[in-house]
Amino acid sequence: MCLAIPGQIISISDDNDPLARKGQVNFSGIRKEVSLAYVPDAKINDYVIVHAGFALSVLDEEDALSSLQAFNDLSEFQNLI
């Protein structure tokens, strides 16, 4: 099973080539560089869904925070078992 994770863009490279555009994304404290080639309109502070190093779509903040809370709840539940 593959899982796409929401994260918040904290910086974007200034590359003029849209296919080479990258950004630093914060995943609840873990920062990773991802490709922004599929989301050319994404900007700093946007939430994006990321899979295999590529941002696939932009999410609104409410949906992103809801998804992150669900992941957190699942983690806490697994710790109880």
Give the pLDDT confidence of 15-26 residue by residue, as tens digits. Answer: 788 899 999 999
Domains contained in the chain, number: 1
* Cα separation, 31 vs 78, whole angstroms: 24
The CATH code of the domain that includes 23 is 2.30.30.140
Please count the helices (runs of H) and the strands (runs of E) in the chain: 1, 5
Residue 60 lies in domain: 5-80
pLDDT higher than threshold 60 for residue 1? no
* Cα separation, 80 vs 75, whole angstroms: 9
Q: What is the pLDDT of residue 53?
A: 95
Q: What is the pLDDT of residues 41-55, one digit of tens each?
A: 999 999 999 999 999
* Cα separation, 70 vs 3, whole angstroms: 13
pTM strictly above 0.85: no
